[in-house]
A and B are shown apart, each in its own frame.
Chain A
Amino acid sequence: MPRGQAAYPCAEACDDDRMQRTRGKAKRTTHPAARSLADDLRQRTDAQLAALLLARPDLARPAPADLVALAARATTRTSVQRALERLDRGQLQAVEALLVASEPQPSGAAAVADVEALLGADPAAALDGLWEVGLLWWSPAGPHPVRAVADVLGPHPGGLGIRAAEVAPEYAASSPPSPADLPGVVADAPPAARAILDSLTWGPPIGTVPPSGPAHDGAAWLVQRGLCAPSGIGHVCLVREVALALRGGRIHRKPLVAAPELDNAAVDPAVVERVAGASARDLLDHLDQLGDLWTANPPRVLRSGALGVRDLAALARDVDLEPPHAAWLAELALAASLIVDDGELIPAFTPTPEFDVWRSRSAGARWASVAQAWWESPRAAYLVGTQGAGGATVGALGQQVRWPAVRGVRADVLRELAALPAGSAPTPESVTERVTWRRPLADRRTLTEATVAVLREADWLGATALGALSGLGRGLAVGASSAHLAESADGTLPPSVDHVLLQADLTAIAPGPLDGALGRFMRLVSDVESRGGATVLRLSAESVRRALDSGWTADEVLDTLRVSSRTPVPQPLDYLVRDVARLHGQTRVGGATAYIRSDDEAVLATLLTDRALSRALLRRIAPTVLVSQSDPAVLVELLRAGGYSPARETFDGVVVVDRPTPRRARPTQARGIPEPTLPTLTAAAARSLVAALRAAPERPVAGAPPRGPLSGTPQQTSSLLRQAVSDSLSLWIGYADSNGRTARHLVRPVRIEGGRVYAVSGESDAEQLYLLHRITGAAPV
């Protein structure tokens, strides 16, 4: 899946809104100064800690042993990465400003005033938000970003280049001009240099320099005046201070601390509910049709695991939907386990037993179950038909449709709508704008595409209508239980009717949805001809025969029709049913394993009364034919033992006919890969975890020189190592050699990459390699 799977938070998206709700609500209190993040965490209230865990559930899974472990985990690169991905654009801008403001400071903390200047807006609320999610802590000098933030954001936060102080001395031909002098210098710049400045100002700060020509000269001019610094061969980097000055002292073109407005149109909520109900009803009908179609004719599973393009087109044609809508329908059926790859020798997509159960439930319950399946499905149906990885077209129901991040998009979109009063219909463009603001790190195009698709799918589902969220959609967005959803769906969906109208052209029309017993009966005894608000059903000899095959008698069929119909049963229909019944069962088919035939009826009569043959269970089906359930060989033996002299016949022509049962897949054989589900962290669980953390005795991590074997959790260890890298400090590590012996080394880690720690030990400058997984623990010197 090339689509920025990592660039978008997915699994914990549902916890986001709590994060959003808590943000900005708490007015910034005076923060007691802390020495470290662990210290800061220790000073938080239980509620604040619980909020932190809820906002970053990865910290709570598995439960950390104590607050130090929690702090260590909160500063790992992965966790910080996840936390950053959940920030909206405003917070992200604040983080960048914070980082830029704090980097030149020896304390590592920034002054709030600097942050405000860089941001061009009041950062208080954003900083509070960042503090709540543990991305910064308040040192005595001011807000201090967690170290890993700098790692994750990379060397160019906000598209700014290296600081003047970092420029290698051999290139630092001259110090950059002061902000006051800068306009003058820039005004003198040759056009080529001016062009370079213009293109690098708003980032990315590194530009390629051709080996010769005016651009080369322009770059040289910039380097000479200290505006740019060479950055590798053939590249220049705009010095950070210069860029900031050119940007007018701010990092961002436009401070976007506040969320963009949604431009709302007002629609009548009652109409929204009606239209949504109709859409939901249509959806149930379509799924019904899909089930029927694929029961009769299960489409093959391609070798890629997907549904063939032709089968999808056939589905679209038969259900009368646009192909993308049909693909979504099939995906939804798969997500709701109504169909599955049956895993047979020639695999096909087949309705599951669950489909029959689903079909027998109330309309509301049916809708609730598919709606929840949609809500939780990690599959992005709109990708069907697009170019996937490797250039192949993405097939419906295939593996390439999987894109778990789409869950987050669904949650974002529906929650944005849910935050508005009922009957507000924001334009898709403004919803997209808002969602991309919420997720600044996600790929904008991918996210826009997904948002538009989600809005469309929500319409098909009945979660939205006319652009506004319906009551059903609201239920989904707030995570209502399935029982609750089912109940509200039952109220929204057009009520089912308890009668049909029978007509002489042998149609029955249900002037509304048909459910329950009558629905099942009508489906059995007739074929659906047209769907929509009403259902047009046609009774034919075949359909009536089907009912008779299922054990109904003509009188029962007619009585049920008479009772269910508002109009009298037309004479031709009455005649049809009786005519079919007259012919039904005229020929009988049964199974027997052996037969005895004789032209002499008396002989057969003797056999029937012979006690010795009673265990052969003989039955006379015609004057000259007996049948038995015994094996022919056994029967012959029995007869011989009884003193008869039977002759055995070859019997090719005994046909065993079973009533055909609809083809159903056994779930045990299903090949589908189970979706990993992450248990959601509930508020109660978070609170109890906080209590446990408080109660846990803290293991000493710093201070005392190490005695005995060094040990610690991998998170603690790697956090200590990273801290040592960034602070250029030495520390003790316990290291297991290839023989399993653990030795203690005093090292100064230089960098950590891909599970390897490069460190120098003692006075030597040579880097040595330590494998991270062999480091048993670490302790500061």
Chain B
Amino acid sequence: MTGGPLIVQSDKTLLLEVDHAGAEAARRDIAPFAELERAPEHIHTYRVTPLGLWNARAAGHDAEQVIDALLRHSRYAVPQALLVDVAETMARYGRLTIEKDPAHGLVLRTTDRPVLEEVLRHRRIEPLLGERIDPDTILVHPSERGHLKQQLLKIGWPAEDLAGYVDGEAHPITLREEGWTMRPYQRQAVEGFWHGGSGVVVLPCGAGKTIVGAGAMAAAGATTLILVTNTVAARQWKDELLRRTSLSEKEIGEYSGTRKEIRPVTIATYQVLSVRRRGVYPHLELLDARDWGLVVYDEVHLLPAPIFRMTADLQARRRLGLTATLVREDGREGDVFSLIGPKRFDAPWKDIEAQGWIAPADCVEVRVTLGQGERMAYAVAEADDRYRLASCTPGKERVVQDLVARHTGEPTLVIGQYLDQLATLAERLEAPLITGETSVAERQRLFDAFRSGEVGLLVVSKVANFSIDLPEASVAIQVSGTFGSRQEEAQRLGRVLRPKGDGRTAHFYTIVSRDTVDADYAAHRQRFLAEQGYAYRIVDADDLSQESGPDGRR
């Protein structure tokens, strides 16, 4: 027994004991090919997937390195079958390449003829290919470059795309490093991307993804299309680009629900591109509006399906994906790999830690017991009404009041879904209420006041909560809410509960009704948050008042 920090499981997960002396080295060695899946306090779980292995292969790692990392850090003998599988999987990448042939144009070439034969016999792939030029080469219709890569990945023979890119319409962009410089890892990320051609750069939140984007644009020196999740992100990108690059206001256009500007650098939202009217996507023409030299995708893990489809047709342009995680809720990691490109850069863990990515937020679930009458009402309620009934119990109001009192002086948000409940709460707490009906100006005013500390407590609805300009708070109290994407939820949570500069812990309270569907949702949240490494506690509402306050107050 070597006593290493890593345990290899037969389901291809890797368990890393974080308190082990060798954990850091092991983490560094497995990061290129394994995705972090869960990060609770003692043992982190990584998963080895074919995609991860191909990503590693695309980044220049070979099977020997991967196997060596597994053997070196593993505590027990590594299953032989797994090692063989790793070697075989990695060997599959690059047997097929998509190249630009000087005489014939775009071709699929192989170093292993039987593979090409196998691929050719595939029902889905055959129509994407053209004439056979020689035994190892076959013509590819340029329009099918993306689809071909998608299909090849699906059958387990990912192609390496070496066909290069069009330069696009030139447009000089330079970085204006005045009073700041690109951090070394950002520079590495830009270089990694540029040499790889297209691909994804994985950086944690707050590590300066925008700057990497700007760096890539400067390297390309061409017109650029930037796709972002929503309007607020679009504005942030614009501000950042104005600040960091030579670009002027006139050169940057916004293409969103409200504005439709097409300029040398255009920032568009996923939402507007995904709009579908009578079966067509009216805004997809944006993609052909200019001869783009670079397409930047922000938050690749949230990329919606229609954008994938259009990306398949954009294979001749350089594509840069930016994200904090490659894990997608819908499992379409494969499409990211084949359509945008393999992972080109992954930030070393130490840097992530320096960024304070491990949020020290304290998550507390407070359980309130329904009164006798409420329990009866709940028991006989229709299934559709149960959640509302459980969520809106008056018992929660007292707890909210209690918590608000405890955190007086700290910026606090109360978040909920049901408007009447929120209205009651706002009244009881004498705090301003922001809902979807609140005017933008009013909302902006309240948010500004909250930021400046003028207002210490806001009651916001789910709708308001969705707006990205929600100010940071150090205490959030969620009284009701549904769970859509856990990923999204955690991100939003992370945004609200940024670690505080003065080292204070942020608090996130969720108030749930005991023994109801409310508590079932809470169980999911608990698991997810714990897996993300947040501290999590469950407290009874009755015990809450006895518990000492966060600052030692009773």
Contact = CB atoms under 8 A, between A and B. Distances in A.
Interface of A: 271, 274-275, 277-279, 282, 285, 320, 459, 465-466, 494, 501, 503-507, 509, 511-512, 530-534, 536, 567, 570-572, 575-576, 583
Nearest to A504: B530
Contact of A320 (B11, B75, B365, B535): B11
A761 to B, nearest CB: 71
B428 interface: no
Contacts of A571: 536-538
Nearest to B6: A533
Contacts of B531: 505
A576 B538 CA distance: 9
A275 B15 contact: no
Interface in B481-515: 515
A536 B9 contact: yes
B379 to A, nearest CB: 14
Nearest to B532: A505
Nearest to A285: B10
Interface of B: 1, 7-11, 13, 15, 17, 38, 40-43, 45, 74-80, 365, 515, 526-527, 530-531, 535-538
B42 A530 contact: no
Contacts of B10: 282, 285, 320, 530-532
Contacts, number: 103
B42 A567 contact: yes
B515 A506 contact: no
Nearest to A538: B527
Given A511-B75, A536-B9, A583 B515 contact: yes
Contact of B77 (A277, A285, A505, A530): A277
A465 B79 CA distance: 10
Contact of B7 (A279, A534, A570): A534
Contacts of A572: 365, 526, 530, 536-538
Given A504-B41, A505-B38, A275 B9 contact: no
Contacts of A277: 77
B235 to A, nearest CB: 36
27 contacts: A274-B76, A274-B77, A459-B80, A466-B80, A494-B1, A501-B42, A503-B40, A503-B43, A504-B530, A504-B536, A506-B527, A507-B40, A509-B42, A509-B43, A511-B7, A511-B15, A511-B17, A530-B9, A531-B11, A532-B8, A532-B10, A532-B11, A533-B7, A533-B8, A536-B15, A571-B536, A575-B538
B74 A533 contact: yes
Given A534-B7, A571-B537, A282 B40 contact: no
Contact of A275 (B11, B77, B527): B77
A434 B30 CA distance: 43
A512 B76 contact: yes
A67 B333 CA distance: 79
A50 to B, nearest CB: 44
A583 B367 CA distance: 15
B365 to A, nearest CB: 8
B80 A505 contact: no
A533 B75 contact: yes
Contacts of B526: 505-506, 572
B40 A504 contact: yes
Contacts of B17: 501, 511
Contacts of A275: 77, 80
Contacts of B365: 572
A106 to B, nearest CB: 63
Nearest to A534: B7
Nearest to B514: A579
Nearest to A532: B9
A527 B262 CA distance: 56
A544 B74 CA distance: 32
A63 B235 CA distance: 99
A462 to B, nearest CB: 10
A467 to B, nearest CB: 10
A509 B15 contact: yes
Nearest to B540: A575
Given A274-B1, A571-B538, 4 more contacts: A504-B40, A505-B527, A531-B11, A532-B13
| Those 7 A-B pairs whose CB atoms lie nearest each other, nearest first | A532-B9, A505-B530, A278-B77, A533-B76, A532-B10, A504-B530, A533-B7
